[in-house]
A and B are shown apart, each in its own frame.
Chain A
Amino acid sequence: MTTTKSNTYFWQGNQACAEGAIAAGCRFFAGYPITPASEIAAHMAKRLPQVGGIAIQMEDELASVGVAIGASWAGAKAMTATSGPGFSLMQEFIGYAFITETPCVIVDAQRAGPSTGQATKCGQGDVMQSRWGTHGDYSAIVLSPNSVEEMFTLTVRAFNLAEEYRTPVILLADETIAHMREQITVPSSDSVNVINRRKPRAGDKAFFGLEEVPPMPAVGEGFNVAVTGSTHDEYGIRFTADPLVHKKLVERLNNKIRNHVEEISDFEDYNIEGCQIALLVYGCTSRAIYEAVEKAEAKGIKIGYIRLKTIWPFPEKLVRKLAEKAEKIIVPEMNLGQICYEVERVANGLAEVIPLNKIGGGELITPEELLAKILREAEKNE
């Protein structure tokens, strides 16, 4: 059973995430127990040794992401998984992975915060943290699955983006998607598209510049690579005072993501062109839209939606297009409003942005609640 056979399974989201990681080539996992992410660690602990990989429980989440970064520099594809409280601890190393251009995948299965909050209940309160959680100028790549199937496919994608752009990638799941069970069709391993980091050629010396995404050696390969979280030049040599070295490095690190929003973006859309009322959704809350849209259409409402699978970098052009077409954009979220402000910024008055928020107890926004909101907004229009 080294690789899971292509077949249809009835899996939990966390298991699909673990299997997706293995399919993407992940051979190192480190974590610290926390609801609702613990099953990923348990599954990796069982499965990774079978494929020759290593899974280890560390003393805390700082160490978990740190050891994954070390593993990545030793040449392995590495992942860690946590929830809000652990994600907060990981922020220090996320910035480090960004500035050192260390590919790795960090799963945050969100629960209701702040702090310990409602440990077993679903929430979407970490959306802004996933973008701005660590200090300094940086850009994040954050994916948002809404099904067990996407816990698999987006985990594969997270690894591919991490390797392609040499940067940490966050899979921002939530308690509902992590814990629910659904049917999932697992592709055969040879049909999974796997991207690997570009390796340097003999004699290469610049692993931190010259190109937008420089080649990455592993330690022990004889490249004498100097890795540092301090500002450094193309060769990894620390320059802590020169303004130009800093500007050049930090601009390149951000631009290698910001200049590729379209390639990194992934979304599902429906009737953008013909809608009056639009929904902008992501993650677990998006599960309510299908029924709500069908019922709204039955009542003659012109409705469309965009479901973001990549929430960061924020697909500004796409959302702006939606704002040009729709009169109103409803943004349902299981927080007190996070992505809605981003939509408002991009819409910039072209469409009215209407938040629909629900927190506490982990209950999802239901199709009925969403439909009621759509009907109310449609009525106001008339």
Chain B
Amino acid sequence: MSEAFSVRKYLRDLKLPFCPGCGIFTLMDAFLRSIHELGHEDLKDFVFCSGIGCSSWICSPYFVADSIHTPHGRSIPVATGIKLVHPSLNVVVFGGDGDIVGIGMSHFIHAARRNLDILVIMVNNMIYGMTGGQVAPTTPFKTKTATTPYGSFEEPLDATRLAVTAGACYSARWTTAHPNELKESIKKALRMKGFRFIEVVSQCPTAYGRRAGFKNVGEILKWLKENAVSIGQAEKLSEKELEKRVVVGQFVERKRPTVVENVYAVIKEAQVNDTKS
């Protein structure tokens, strides 16, 4: 680490649009600290892709970097095209839970299946923040939202486990009440290859906190801290005991050939065969 950390050098001179107390600030800080601690003086080796939502604004256009802000839920296909054509770039996707595992769900699963060599960081604020607090695929059962005034009648999705099942090389969940663990997780993921997924359970005081009965940001963070259980602990708990708990930690770490390697192997093979014929 050559100089002291400052988010400034990675950010354009623009005013950030997030509400006071939003968990996105914690993630931005953790991400840029990871970049700094890994020794990147700038973001020129990175490309950022994001969809639509508050969380998708993290990188676009605020990072001093190449950033592609796609339609809602479609960041992963665009990231796929970039990574396939330009394998030496580090491609990082940011998005909300609605963006990544709501409308963009199919791309998420397929990217993990084909082991696309990218890092996806998903902000799970348990709500559709930007559109004003509608139910998300991650909203806890019975939570009142703008579109579930009597409480949500669907079970939420566990995206981190889904990533494991779909084939991710790395999948972890942390919360904004665990900034240090989150940062270490990002650093680890950035050093790895293959499809990497980090879910960040985060507070949206504006669209979720109030509805879920929290008075202020401090209360949400306290709740996150107190209700977080590690994977190890969680294994010893019953389903009932795990209700309303946030299981945190690293869910998988493994190596698999990536689609990028496989595609270029095909090209090599086709060209060898071609000169033979």
Contact = CB atoms under 8 A, between A and B. Distances in A.
Nearest to A238: B61
A236 interface: yes
A72 B86 CA distance: 11
A78 B81 contact: yes
Given A49-B269, A54-B85, 19 more contacts: A1-B274, A30-B81, A49-B266, A66-B70, A69-B81, A71-B84, A74-B82, A219-B66, A219-B68, A220-B66, A220-B86, A224-B64, A224-B66, A226-B60, A227-B67, A228-B69, A230-B69, A237-B12, A237-B14
A347 B77 CA distance: 44
A49 B79 contact: no
A71 B81 contact: yes
Given A224-B66, A237-B61, A238-B61, A73 B82 contact: yes
Secondary structure of the A contact surface, majority rule = mixed
A52 interface: yes
Closest 8 CB pairs of A and B: A70-B81, A66-B77, A49-B270, A74-B85, A226-B61, A71-B81, A228-B69, A70-B78
Interface string B39-81: 0000010010100000000001100111111110010111111
16 contacts: A1-B277, A58-B77, A62-B77, A63-B107, A66-B74, A69-B81, A70-B79, A71-B84, A71-B85, A93-B74, A220-B66, A223-B66, A226-B66, A226-B69, A228-B68, A229-B71
A76 B44 CA distance: 19
Interface in A49-92: 49-50, 52-54, 56, 58-60, 62-76, 78, 92
A28 interface: yes
Interface string B235-254: 00000000000000000000
B107 to A, nearest CB: 6
Contacts of B157: none
Interface of A: 1-2, 28, 30, 49-50, 52-54, 56, 58-60, 62-76, 78, 92-93, 96, 218-220, 222-230, 236-238
B258 to A, nearest CB: 13
B110 interface: yes
A222 B81 CA distance: 18
Given A70-B78, A219-B47, A224-B64, A96 B71 contact: yes
A53 B263 CA distance: 10
Interface of B: 12, 14, 44, 47, 49, 60-61, 64-71, 74, 76-86, 88-89, 106-107, 110, 263, 266-267, 269-271, 274, 277
A59 B107 contact: yes
A28 B81 contact: yes
A65 B74 CA distance: 10
B83 to A, nearest CB: 8
Nearest to B43: A224
Contact of A67 (B80, B86, B266, B271): B80
Contacts of B80: 58, 63, 66-67, 70
Please indicate which of the listed interface residues A53, A70, A219 has the most CB atoms of chain B within 10 Å of its own CB.
A70
Given A1-B277, A76-B85, A219-B47, A67 B69 contact: no
A1 B47 CA distance: 35
B84 A219 contact: no
Nearest to B17: A238
Contacts of B263: 54, 56
A67 B86 CA distance: 13
Contacts of A219: 47, 66, 68, 82, 86, 89
